[in-house]
Amino acid sequence: MRAKEKVGIKSYAGYVPRYRITPKEIGKVWGKDGETMGRGLRINSKSVPSPDEDVVTISTQAATWALERSKLDGEDIGAIYVGSESHPYAVKPTATIVGASIGATPLMTAADFEFACKAGTAGFQTCMGLVSSGMMKNGMAIGADTSQGAPGDALEYSAAAGGAAYIIGTEDLLAEINYTCSYTTDTPDFWRREGKKYPSHGGRFTGKPAYFKHITECTRNIMKESATTPEDYDYAVFHQPNGKFPVKIAGKLGFEKEQIEPGLLVTRIGNTYSGAVPLGLASTLDQSEPGDRILVTAYGSGAGCDSFDITVTDSIEDIKNDDIPSIQEVISDEEFITYSIYAKYRDKIEGGR
Amino acid sequence: MTTPRFWREIEQRYRGIGVQCENCSRVYFPPREICPHCRRKSFGRMKEKELSGKGKILTYTKVHEPHPEYKMLTPYIMAIIEMEENVRLTGHLVDIDYEDVKPGMEVEVTMRRLGEESPKGIIYYGYKLVPVK
């Protein structure tokens, strides 16, 4: 899909909570060799939100920084979409709270999106449609999560927290989105039923027929549409549920390790779900130069992919020395905690809160 | 805190909206109807003002006996800061160890969860203080 008008990213910023726990620390509690599990998943540590952090606070911090970077006012934002699978309310939008906190309300539209880990990029596409059709000048798309793994479950070693916000528009772009496409099927690889605290998954079924098939199809499709090959891209960002999958899929599609490295954050912060690709892209943009081309494919269980073909503009130079912290700066502020503090922070202790 | 009271104060809690006296330019947070310096000269001249959210620590303390809402965060740090607009603000200082806090340190506001009405009630969000990144 290609918009009739030029469309792209006007601003972006990301936020990751500072607390970290290692797979070794988690494994100690469950009688597992966490260090080996961490090596298998290629996750050295994962981020943990403080008890006063959730998708609203992570989204608001990222949105505040993105707005500050853009030099726009809150009232210039015509739409806010927050993609997440851990919205604090089952009914009451996260997006209205974010809108009120950045001064975008009331003359705007807002909604919360859910599509497992690709709800944030679904917001990108919605904003692209709104701005390229001329219905509004700027839309904000956010992907953020404070995902949970059941105590002792394999997911507990990777489920982390973080998010990023993007302002999508048609003028003053840091990066143009040349093409986007999606690939969607009904594949039950990972889900969480209404009212349940922790998600369930299909174990190994989450790999081949889900993550690998969807990313392969969607990425090949966008390269076909844009008539490109992996060599045409300086960087690539793939969904990163662990450190192994994105490296494997990149190799399978013909991308080199160096192309995915700037956006591969999972080894340090874990799987931030809806925040994963938005944060990976933000980290890649932080390190990119004018003219660089970036291929992005987000994956959401259930299942689907959104791909983007992006070209960085000269304006990227203007934000290199601004006051907004880079993703590397944000994630370098880290404090390691024990499993008992983690259990307290993640509300795993009955009667704690 | 009841839902209507929280809702009435959203502008202050989320965005730090105070007021500025157009007569003497003093800024107040939370907002006041009348400037205590200019008194009746300030009638109708108190205009909305969004604070920068940045300031420096004047003083701080560590709280060991928590407010029930802050049980999960105990011990926690409370600080009084002088904001860029010469407004003093008391807030919960987070994302830093007590030993690393110093008077004069630059901080800024961030949005955090302050508490909740009840496990099925509304969630209260508002400002807390963090070191400038």
Q: Identify any residues that bridge with B55 across adjacent strands, giving them in sequence order.
A: B83, B107
pLDDT of res. B68: 82
Query: Does residue B42 register a pLDDT over 70?
Result: yes
Among B10, B49, B72, B92, the residue to mutate for chain A (most A Cβ within 10 A): B72
Does residue B67 register a pLDDT over 90? no
**Contacts A97 to B, Cβ<8 Å:** 14, 125
Poorest-pLDDT segment among A146-150, A232-236, B54-58: A146-150
- State the sign of the Cα–Cα–Cα–Cα dihedral A189, A190, A194, A195: positive
The domain spans of chain B are: 52-131
Confidence band of A2 (pLDDT split at 50, 70, 90): confident
How large a percentage of chain A has pLDDT more than 70? 99
Which of B71, B110, B125 has its CB closest to that of A97? B125
Residue A333 with chain B: CB contacts under 8 Å: 95, 133
CB contact under 8 Å between B72 and A352, yes or no, is yes
> For B75-127, what is each residue's pLDDT tens digit?
999 999 999 999 999 999 999 999 999 999 999 999 999 999 988 999 999 99
The tokens of A339 are what?
């499993």
Per CB-CB distance under 8 Å, the chain A contacts of B128 are: 52
Any catalytic annotation for residue A117? yes
A87 is catalytic: no
Q: How far is A60 from chain B (nearest CA, A)?
A: 7
Query: A175-316: which CATH number, 3.40.47.10, 3.50.50.60, 3.40.350.10, 3.40.50.20?
Result: 3.40.47.10
Residues in chain B: 133
CA–CA separation, A170 and A164 (whole Å) = 20
Query: Could you report the per-residue pLDDT of A17-58, keeping only the tens digit for each?
Result: 999 999 999 999 999 999 999 999 999 999 999 999 999 999
User: Which pLDDT score, from 0 to 100, does residue A202 have?
Assistant: 82
- Chain A residues with CB-CB distance to B126 below 8 A: none
What is the per-residue pLDDT across A58-117, written as a single tens digit (0 to 9) for each?
Answer: 999 999 999 999 999 999 999 999 999 999 999 999 999 999 999 999 999 999 999 999
Higher pLDDT, A220 or B71: A220
Residues found in chain A:
353
What interface predicted TM-score (ipTM) does this complex get? Answer: 0.95
Measured N-to-C along each axis, helices A245-253 and A213-225 cross at an angle, to the nearest 10 degrees, of 40
Whether the upstream peptide bond of residue A209 has omega within 30° of 0, thus cis, is: no
| A97 in reach of chain B (CB within 8 A) | yes
Using one digit for the tens of pLDDT, what is the confidence trace for A244-267?
999 999 999 999 999 999 999 999
Q: Are strands B106-116 and B54-63 parallel, antiparallel or unpaired?
A: antiparallel
Residues whose CB falls within 8 Å of the CB of residue A61, separated by 6 or more in sequence, listed in order: A15, B110, B111
Q: With an 8 Å Cβ cutoff, is A73 touching chain B?
A: no
Fold of A8-174+323-345: Peroxisomal Thiolase; Chain A, domain 1 (3.40.47)
Where exactly are the structural domains of chain A? Answer: 8-174+323-345, 175-316
Q: Which chain A residues have a beta carbon less than 8 Å from that of B71?
A: 352-353
Residues from chain A that touch B109, judged by Cβ atoms under 8 A, are none
Say whether A325 and B112 touch across the interface (CB within 8 A). no
State the best of B125, B127, B129, B132 to mutate against chain A, taking most chain A CBs within 10 Å.
B125
CB-CB: which of A52, A56, A89 is closest to B94?
A: A52
Among the partner residues B73, B122, B133, nearest to A51 by beta-carbon distance: B73
Inform me whether the C-beta atom of residue A345 falls under 8 Å from chain B C-beta atoms: yes
Q: Is the pLDDT of residue A352 over 80?
A: no
Q: Is there a contact between B125 and A101 if contact means CB atoms under 8 Å apart?
A: yes
Token pair for residue A345? 């922070």
Which tens digit of pLDDT belongs to each residue from A160-197?
999 999 999 999 999 999 999 999 999 999 999 998 98
Q: Are B125 and A330 a contacting pair at CB < 8 A?
A: no
Interface contact flag, B15 A101, Cβ < 8 Å:
yes
Distances, alpha carbon A337 to alpha carbons A28, A123, A235, in Å? 13, 33, 33
Q: Which of A117, A127, A218, A305 is catalytic?
A: A117
Please determine, looking at this structure, whether the domain spanning B52-131 carries the CATH number 2.40.50: yes
User: For residue A351, what pLDDT band results from cuts at 50, 70 and 90?
Assistant: low
Over residues B1-27, the mean pLDDT reads 94
Q: What is the SS3 assignment for B72?
A: helix
Of A112, A58, A62, A61, the closest CA to residue A83 belongs to A112
- Where are any strands of DSSP class E within A188-292? 190-191, 200-201, 235-238
Task: Nearest by CB to A353, from B14, B72, B112: name it.
Answer: B72
Asked whether the beta carbons of A260 and A252 are under 8 A apart, the reply is: no
| Chain A residue at shortest CA distance from B113 | A52
- Does the annotation count A218 as an active-site position? no
B123:A56 CB<8 A: yes
Inform me whether the pLDDT recorded for A350 exceeds 90: no
DSSP codes, A118-147: THHHHHHHHHHHHHHTTS-SEEEEEEEEE-
For A330, the closest of B10, B111, B133 (CB atoms) is B133
Cβ count near A122 (within 10 Å): 22
CB A105 within 8 A of CB A99: yes
* pLDDT at residue B70, as a whole number: 87
**Which of B36 and A200 is assigned the larger pLDDT?**
B36
CA dist A17 and A54 (Å) reads 10
Q: Inter-chain contact B113–A330, Cβ cutoff 8 Å? A: no
With a cut of 60, say whether residue A353 has pLDDT above it.
no
- Which class for A174: exposed (0-12), middle (13-18), buried (19 or more C-beta within 10 A)? buried
